[in-house]
Amino acid sequence: MINNIIYTQNIAESIELLLSQKEYDKLFIVTDENTHRFAMPLLSDSKACVDAKEIIILANDTNKTLENLSTIWKSLVEEGATRKSLLINLGGGMVTDMGGFAAATFKRGIEHINIPTTLLGAVDAAVGGKTGINFEGLKNEIGAFKQPSAVLIDTRFFKTLSKEHLLSGFAEMLKHGLISNMENYNKLITFNISNPDYNELLNLVADSVSIKEDIVEQDPLEKGVRKYLNLGHTTGHAIESLAMKRNTPVQHGYAVAWGLACEAILSYMKFGFSQPEIHRLVDYVKANYGAFPISCDDYAYLYEKITHDKKNESGRINYTLLKAIGEVEINVSVTKEEIESSFDLYRDLFGL
Ligand code: GLY
């Protein structure tokens, strides 16, 4: 296993145990304004963390910038961090991405631990070792692969999340189901995420994390099979940008949910992916995430964003699509006409 994933109901106790297994000279905890207030108190009970230096950064993905990264580097320098120091990232994807990148680059790399405080973070960002910052308006443009020494998932955090945050994380879980197997997917697509049973959700989270871990373990640097994890994201990122341009930003996972629907349609067009499964997915997405409004006037903008996706190579648009649930095709080239037809079908299916 690349990652050491620990599920706990008592983060202070678990961190204590973890830190007793290895000696670090100094401890740093990166939080944002929200996790400083709501999550840090849970950690403060731990004796091991009493002397830790907390580095508080601004919240939200818009602050995943070079300036804020520099704040972390500066604190590490000022407090005399060494290669034997440990950085603990306590927060959502923004904190684990940027804190992880600080750990990857400081003195050419120090150890770090992720403690995700959102569902999206637990099932995606905190696991797998992608770290980075946004740059020149481009998401995650600068970054590094750097595996965390451990990921501690305190399940209490999820109970306090808003419905929107839960749904956002759940979309990545749906993706893991679609790329892995029908058994897992069936459990997800029949789960009532709008009124969740938390014990059942935890089982689903553990399954989802292990699907991701398994893929990352086979292909940590995304040369092949890790591209499975990009399902829904080529279209999803374009939808996220369009929402941002309209000044009505949407949560990442919502864009992924709509992206999964569009890419299931493309999968049908390219590989005959099952129509009943498209309807099952669309019904679930429509019921829980609503419909993202698209008209033909948006096609040009969406296409332009899709052609600039980081995942493309040598001018080719590279999609990850499905032949069936659990049967994935990577590096699929798709034409402009096919993409536009998929948007037409998306609008029909979502009643737009
Ligand atoms: N978020 C997709 C990956 O970690 O590869």
Rounded to the nearest angstrom, the distance between the alpha carbon of 236 and the centre of ligand 1 is 14
Residues 163-349: name the CATH superfamily.
Dehydroquinate synthase-like - alpha domain (1.20.1090.10)
pLDDT at 1: 46
CA–CA distances in Å: residue 145 to residues 125, 126, 142, 252? 12, 12, 11, 21
CA–CA distance, 81 with 50 (Å, rounded to integer): 16
pTM (two decimals) = 0.94
Measure the CA–CA gap between 255 and 238, rounded to whole angstroms. Answer: 8
Mean pLDDT of 38-64: 89
What would the mean pLDDT of 218-237 be, rounded to a whole number?
Answer: 96
Element (H, E) at 273: none
Q: Cα(131) to centroid of ligand 1, in Å?
A: 10
Q: Which CATH number fits domain 5-159: 3.40.50.1370, 3.40.50.720, 3.40.50.1970, 3.20.10.10?
A: 3.40.50.1970
Q: How far is 36 from 31, CA to CA, in rounded Å? A: 5
Closest C-alpha residue for ligand 1 atom 4: 128
Q: Where are the beta strands (DSSP E) in the chain?
A: 5-8, 27-32, 53-57, 86-91, 111-116, 130-135, 138-145, 150-154, 318-324, 327-333
Q: What is the pLDDT of residue 314?
A: 64
Q: Are 106 and 100 in contact (CB under 8 A)?
A: no
Of 340 and 309, the structure prediction assigns the larger pLDDT to 340
pLDDT in the model for residue 315: 66
Measuring CA to CA, which residue among 320, 191, 171, 347 is closest to residue 254?
Answer: 171
Do residues 268 and 260 touch, judged by C-beta distance below 8 A? Answer: no
| Residue to probe by mutation, ligand 1, list 118, 175, 219, 230, most atoms within 8 Å of CB | 230
Instruction: Name the residue type at position 264.
Output: A
In percent, the amount of the chain with pLDDT more than 70 equals 97
Domain boundaries in the chain? Answer: 5-159, 163-349
> pLDDT for 94-109, tens place per residue?
999 999 999 999 999 9
* Ligand 1 atom at minimal distance to the Cα of residue 216: 5
pLDDT in tens, 120-178: 999 999 999 999 999 988 888 999 999 999 999 988 888 888 999 999 999 999 999 99
**Burial class of 67 by CB neighbour count within 10 A (0 to 12, 13 to 18, 19+):** exposed
261 or 12, which is more confident: 261
Q: What is the mean pLDDT of residues 17-29?
A: 93
What is the distance between the alpha carbons of residues 337 and 186, in angstroms, rounded to a whole number?
32
5-159 and 163-349 in the same fold: no
Instruction: Say whether 133 sits in a helix, a strand or coil.
Output: strand
